[in-house]
């Protein structure tokens, strides 16, 4: 579980400060390219996405002529993130070996060539984030797989993108849930592309009905009955953070705004989440060992 602790200011920034896991992932290329390639390496397969953030002077311009481009029509202070979805490569990254992983993602990167204009190929960074499937593997094997994958992509002539070893790695369950919450709140119009909460829509009858419904639900589970959260200030102008439930192939992430809970309940929830994560990890490791026998 990721617990957000907003400040008492007028704006709230959702940010993650978890330590990197078995990888050193998350560093920025700083190339200035408007495109980023992200490979979501789940337990059953790896999906490639191309993200672009148009400049303020070019908000209406499409990042590519590809018909697969989709622009999320949600409110933002500046502009919208645009996403192109590539193919899903099966099976999962965790099923590869250091000898086979070098060419594992080549079909996905061949598709990415057509999603990004050629003039940006040489400056577009690549990120590979793996989740529960890779977390089940021994730490040393994870490192060997990422080393071999980075080398294979860099050395292949059909991959002109910027592949840095530090941008390949396994994220922990907290960051996985955090990213799910970011996606849900962005798509729901709660936060903008700057990751700051947007103002609540005044005079929207449907919005007030939704808020009243969430308040009733929160009160049933020991919440304050105010979906704005437990600050002394008036939260009527702040949009309500949405929770996220991410059901993956080998893990589950549950994220919600914990300000509606008492400190005792928050501590208890942390304990339950820790115990359940430990139990689930043991079960998955046992199943993996049985499959290898």
79: burial class by Cβ within 10 Å (0-12, 13-18, 19+)? Answer: middle
- Where residue 189 falls (left for φ over 0; alpha for ψ -120 to 50; beta otherwise) is left
Count the Cβ atoms, other than its own, within 10 Å of residue 47: 16
Burial string for 93-103 (b: 16+ CB within 10 Å, else e) reads bbebebeebbe
| Residues in a beta bridge with 84 | 50, 69
176 classed as catalytic: yes
Catalytic residue among 110, 119, 164, 176: 176
Q: How many CB atoms lie within 10 A of CB 207?
A: 14
Q: Is 104 exposed, middle or buried (0-12, 13-18, 19+ CB in 10 A)?
A: buried
Bridge partners of 130, per DSSP, are 41, 170
Per DSSP, the three-state class of 223 is: coil
β-sheet bridge partners, residue 131 = none
Catalytic residue numbers read 176
């Amino acid at each position: 579980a990721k617990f957000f602790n907003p400040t008492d200011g007028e704006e709230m920034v959702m940010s993650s400060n978890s330590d990197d896991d078995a990888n050193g992932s998350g560093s920025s290329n700083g190339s200035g390219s408007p495109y980023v390639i992200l490979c979501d390496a789940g337990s059953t397969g790896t999906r490639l996405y191309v993200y672009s953030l148009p400049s303020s002077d070019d908000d209406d311009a499409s990042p590519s002529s590809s018909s697969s481009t989709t622009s999320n029509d949600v409110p933002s202070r500046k502009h919208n993130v645009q996403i192109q979805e590539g193919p899903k490569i099966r099976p999962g990254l965790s099923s590869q070996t250091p000898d086979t992983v070098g060419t594992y993602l080549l079909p996905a990167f061949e598709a990415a060539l057509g999603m990004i204009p050629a003039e940006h190929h040489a400056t577009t960074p690549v990120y590979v984030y793996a989740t529960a499937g890779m977390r089940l593997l021994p730490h040393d094997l994870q490192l060997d797989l990422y080393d071999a994958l980075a080398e294979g992509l860099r050395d292949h002539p059909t991959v002109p993108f910027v592949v840095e070893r530090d941008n390949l790695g396994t994220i922990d369950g907290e960051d996985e849930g955090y990213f799910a919450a970011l996606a849900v709140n962005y798509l729901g119009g709660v936060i903008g592309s700057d990751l700051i909460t947007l103002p609540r829509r005044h005079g929207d009858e449907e919005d007030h009905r939704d808020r009243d419904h969430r308040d009733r639900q929160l009160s049933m589970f020991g919440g304050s009955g105010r979906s704005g959260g437990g600050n002394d200030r008036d939260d009527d102008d702040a949009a309500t953070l949405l929770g996220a439930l991410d059901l993956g192939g080998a893990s589950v992430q549950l994220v919600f705004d914990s300000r509606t809970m008492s400190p005792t309940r928050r501590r208890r929830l942390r304990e339950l989440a820790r115990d359940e994560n430990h139990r689930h990890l043991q079960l998955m490791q046992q199943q993996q060992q049985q499959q290898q026998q």
